[in-house]
Amino acid sequence: MKNLWNEVKKSKTTYIALISIVLVFIVPILFNLFHLGRSNRIIFLFFIINVFFSAFIGWFAKKYQLSFYNLVIFPIIFVVSVFAKYGKYGYFLAGIYLVLSILIYFLFDDKK
């Protein structure tokens, strides 16, 4: 069991998944706790924080030579969240996050 935990701690894919879960499920709850409205959630969380995180995932996956499929983790978790509690506009945002991650992934070269 201890070896399994060490492997999970070393996995960068696990970190991407955990940060994605926090951004998708926990941060909107914090926005509600601080009485930030729906428009603030949409602007700051969906269009600023999540866009930067999508770009970060693309860069992170390229830098650490992770599988291309790591780029799909965040949009899939976001779609699950949208299906559960947000409007249909969220599906388009998931596509934007995926496209941005892919663009950043291919923007950086392997050469140094």
> In this predicted model, what pLDDT tens digit does every residue of 34-47 receive, in sequence order?
888 888 878 898 89
The predicted structure's pLDDT at residue 40: 82
Q: Are 77 and 28 in contact (CB under 8 A)?
A: no
The predicted structure's pLDDT at residue 9: 66
pTM, whole model, 2 decimals? Answer: 0.85
The predicted structure's pLDDT at residue 16: 92
Compute the C-alpha angle 87/20/103, nearest 5°.
Answer: 85
The predicted structure's pLDDT at residue 2: 64
- Which of 69, 84, 92 has the alpha carbon at shortest distance from 17? 69
The predicted structure's pLDDT at residue 72: 95
Per DSSP, 44 falls in state I
Please count the residues of the chain: 112
Instruction: Give the residue, 21 or 91, on which the prediction is more confident.
Output: 21
